[in-house]
Amino acid sequence: MRFFSMDGPVFRFLSLMYDLMILNIIYVITCIPVITIGAATSALYRTMLDKRYGLDAGVKTYLRQFLANFRQSTPRFLLFLLICAVLAFDARYAISGGLPAPSLLFSIFLVMLTVAAGLSSWVLALTGQFDNTLTGTLRNAALLTFRHLPLTLLLLLRFLPLLLAYFSAPLFLVFSFLFFLFYYSLAAYLAAGPMSRIFLPLMSPEEREKRTRDDDE
């Protein structure tokens, strides 16, 4: 039956799941040093976007982009890591530090932290996709964060394991095998669908032709 053939939907789905699993495992491993999270995330977004463009993107694409984007992605990631750490500390101190109007201050810092996390996701995605200065990337990320708010919320799903580990370690352990095998690559793949439709018109005709032609691997 064609349904179960090599070109059928069942085989394509299983092939995609296998690719996502391998990429997720490599992504988690390359994130272990922490300082490499920026380059790893940029490479993951680029790989998933290439998949959405119809390219045969896989492990080779990921590793190549990881190395290519390391110098740009790392300082940008560390900048946002510092900003988010300060805002998280401020939010916690607003509740426990005996400040006036703690609930209001906590809400303000929480909103700022959420915006910073959303900005960081767009910055890393743009870094893997386009060559641009830090100022230009930040400006574009800010526009995209608020113009495409539903997609920004989807990008924020990558922080769910971190939140779960902080607020409920036992629940995090229950789902840890999913985080290791599928979660990050699947979340990036889902976000890459609408993201590809945003990025593609921004490319030059030459870059658009290159990125949609299956000559990657």
pLDDT for 2: 58
Cα separation, 161 vs 21, whole angstroms:
17
Per-residue pLDDT of the chain (217 residues; tens, 9 = 90+): 555 555 667 778 888 899 999 999 999 999 999 999 999 999 999 999 999 988 888 899 999 999 999 999 999 999 999 999 999 998 888 887 776 777 888 899 999 999 999 999 999 999 999 888 999 999 999 999 999 999 999 999 999 999 999 888 899 999 999 999 999 999 999 999 999 999 988 887 877 777 766 544 4
Burial class (CB in 10 A: 0-12, 13-18, 19+), 126: buried
pLDDT for 131: 87
DSSP state of 98: -
pLDDT for 215: 43
Does residue 117 contact residue 159 with C-beta atoms inside 8 Å? yes
Nearest to 121 by CA among 188, 70, 199, 26: 188
pLDDT for 96: 79
Name 155's Cβ contacts closer than 8 Å, sequence gap at least 6.
Answer: 118, 121, 122, 125, 191
pTM: predicted TM-score of the whole model, two decimal places: 0.89
pLDDT for 8: 63
Does residue 208 contact residue 138 with C-beta atoms inside 8 Å? no
